[in-house]
Amino acid sequence: MSKLYSLLNIGKIVAGAGCIEQIKDIVEDFEAKNVVVITDQGVWQTGLIDKPKKILEAAGVNVHIINDTPPEPALEQVNAIFNAAKNFECQMIIGIGGGSSMDTAKLVSLLLTNDVTLYDLVKGKTKFKRRGVPTLMIPTTAGTGSEATPNAIVLVPEEELKVGIVSEKMVCDCVILDPEMTVGLPKHITANTGMDALCHAIECYISKKANPFSDTFALKAINLISRSIRTAYNDGKNLQAREDMLLGATFGGISIATSSTTAVHALSYPLGGKYHIPHGLSNAILLPDVMKFNLDVCEEKFKDIAVAMELDLTGCTTKQAAEKMIENLYSMIEDMNVKCDLREKGINEDVLDDLIDAAAKVTRLLDNNPKVVTKEDMRAIYKKLL
Ligand SMILES: NC(=O)c1ccc[n+]([C@@H]2O[C@H](COP(=O)([O-])OP(=O)(O)OC[C@H]3O[C@@H](n4cnc5c(N)ncnc54)[C@H](O)[C@@H]3O)[C@@H](O)[C@H]2O)c1
Ligand SMILES: [Zn+2]
């Protein structure tokens, strides 16, 4: 049988500067009178929640705010937020923030309608059977693309590993992409989360699960992100660059929804799970070296990516174009000062075996890498980062 592929997409996306105003119409469409907003302290303190809250309250909607989502939450922390949300009998869950808040919001929506535990879900013992309470996601980082994916990532502390819960039921009902919600994003978070989005697009394009849906969204995401990531970093108030980044991140998420990330994310999970390096940062530092490792089996695809990046490829062979693409990845992280001293985080030669064993367990993603990644390959890649 020829390869089959599918895409389950978001119900409605509104985009453009100022579109947060449409939150009233969206919530009214769902006839929601009680909504729970899930966000985190960082976003809360920026005051970004004030405007949507006021708009909804003026329309007679009761808005309950849960603003203590921890960064990259652990299973028990998501459970605590679920328990808090249960008290409000809401008809809609609104996630406002980065991947941490949106993943939590997606899980809470489903836990409210399914009689399952998070523990059984991460162990693969059960699945979500019913759709959740309707969801609206409003990303404030341009990064994870969680607003478009059927995934939510939780930390399982006893295993020191982050686990992805995947369910088609998790794809959101509505998304608001308002670049004004991201203008205050600090420089280093703009860089890290933007590079995460670029990883999603590049990995989905070279993944064994790549297909015409993911190719279309991934190449457009690569185009938007590579043209605007440096501007968003250097001039955070540039709304066009912020809009490009938000769209790019969502398109990256749509690519994940139909393809899959690969070795970058697999090697990144233990860096987050055990050493608490932020998701975007660990992916960003791994991306160029993992692509260098993949080069010999990806020349054609890397050339396509170089074209999408609008690099000057005059006179280049396919291989030279592919190499230029990798050089551009190195220069992107250098230009935005993306670095992480792994030794300072406690990572040295003595712990490499543990890191490699943990990464090797992420077969859900490793199996989609275009080239087999042996434990020795992983060692070489991690060692380069030390
Ligand atoms: N569901 C998915 O498909 C998917 C994909 C990739 C990653 N993830 C997960 O998402 C999480 C990471 O999400 P993230 O990278 O977006 O970071 P995040 O949500 O942890 O946010 C990072 C920091 O940025 C702050 N912040 C967010 N928006 C801001 C704004 N506009 N202004 C000022 N500060 C702001 C937050 O308060 C926080 O301190 C990880 O748990 C990761 O595993 C999920
Ligand atoms: Zn990611």
Nearest CA to 66 out of 25, 38, 103 is that of 38
Q: What is the CATH number of domain 187-385?
A: 1.20.1090.10
How much is the pLDDT for 58? 98
Average pLDDT along the chain? 97
Does the pLDDT of residue 196 top 90, yes or no?
yes
How much is the pLDDT for 3? 85
pLDDT in tens, 106-144: 999 999 999 999 999 999 999 999 999 999 999 999 999
Give the ligand with the smallest distance to the CA of 182.
1
How much is the pLDDT for 159? 85
Does the pLDDT of residue 192 top 80, yes or no?
yes
CA of 162, closest atom in ligand 1:
43
Does the pLDDT of residue 2 top 80, yes or no?
no
The bridge status of strand 174-177 relative to strand 12-15 is: parallel
How much is the pLDDT for 54? 98
Classify 349 in phi/psi space as left (phi over 0), alpha (psi -120 to 50) or beta.
Answer: alpha
pLDDT in tens, 238-252: 999 999 999 999 999
Q: Which residues of 216-252 are buried (b: 16+ CB within 10 A; e: fewer)?
A: ebbbbbbbbbbbbbbebbeebebbebbbbbbbbbbbb
Give the mutation target among 72, 147, 362 for probing the ligand 1 site: most ligand atoms within 8 A of CB. 72
pLDDT in tens, 149-163: 999 999 998 888 888
Q: Which residues neighbour 205 within 8 Å (Cβ) at sequence distance 6 or greater? A: 214, 215, 218, 219, 222, 255, 259, 301, 304, 305
pLDDT in tens, 265-317: 999 999 999 999 999 999 999 999 999 999 999 999 999 999 999 999 999 99
Q: Ligand 2 centre from 98 Cα, in Å?
A: 11
How much is the pLDDT for 1? 58
pTM of the full structure? 0.98
Give CATH 3.40.50.1970 domain extents, the chain: 12-181
The angle subtended at Cα 18 by Cα 12 and Cα 19, nearest 5°, is 15
Residue 296 burial by CB count (10 A; 0-12/13-18/19+): exposed, middle or buried? Answer: exposed
Give the mutation target among 40, 108, 362 for probing the ligand 1 site: most ligand atoms within 8 A of CB. 40
Place of tokens 């341009």: 142
Nearest CA to ligand 1 atom 37: 42
Q: What are 43's two structure tokens? A: 């976003």
How much is the pLDDT for 160? 84
Give CATH 1.20.1090.10 domain extents, the chain: 187-385
Give the ligand with the smallest distance to the CA of 67.
1
Q: What is the CATH number of domain 12-181?
A: 3.40.50.1970
From CA 223, how far away is CA 243, in angstroms rounded?
13
The bridge status of strand 151-156 relative to strand 161-166 is: antiparallel
Does the pLDDT of residue 207 top 80, yes or no?
yes
